[in-house]
Amino acid sequence: MEDKKISEAVELLFKGAKMLAYHCPQCNMPLFKYEDKVICPICKKEAEIIGEGKNAVVKLKDDEVEEGEDRTPEEPKVSVIKSETDIEATLKQAIQITVKRLVEISSEEKITIIKEYVEVITDLVNLLEKVRCLKI
């Protein structure tokens, strides 16, 4: 997963979004539930999940927008990061949020979903280490 993709996902987590066990059919990024919408943080499209579990089908909602209607999911506001310390703090907070969510779902979800959370945490920790290595 690229750093930019992780950053987009982290921003949604900071805003209180919930990472789902389903992935975008277009870019394969985990989908998030934010303000009662299921969205892809990379494609910036709303998705629809039909069914449950392994039999679920994920479809991106069509791009047709009726006059006066805006289907673009509202993007969370990106806070200005002023220093490497801010980046570290942001990544640490993202790790804490993801670990907390992992603990919450660990007893009720399938191992594949838990594995996805662990992969996100691993990616965040690796990114944190890269930021620390950049310090002069």
Domain extents in the chain: 3-65+72-134
pLDDT tens, position by position, 49-101:
888 777 778 888 864 434 444 444 444 444 454 555 677 888 888 888 888 88
What confidence category does residue 3 fall into, taking pLDDT thresholds of 50, 70 and 90? Answer: low
What confidence category does residue 117 fall into, taking pLDDT thresholds of 50, 70 and 90? Answer: confident
Tokens of 106: 């660990």
Query: What average pLDDT does the structure give for the chain?
Result: 75
SS3 10: helix
DSSP E strands: which ranges in the chain?
Answer: 18-23, 30-34, 37-39, 46-50, 57-60
Q: How far apart are CA 121 and CA 100, in angstroms?
A: 11
- The reported pTM is 0.47
Who wins on pLDDT, 5 or 91?
91
**For residue 115, is pLDDT > 50?**
yes
Residue 71 has a pLDDT of 42
Q: Which amino acid is at 82?
A: K
What average pLDDT does range 100-118 have in this prediction?
A: 78
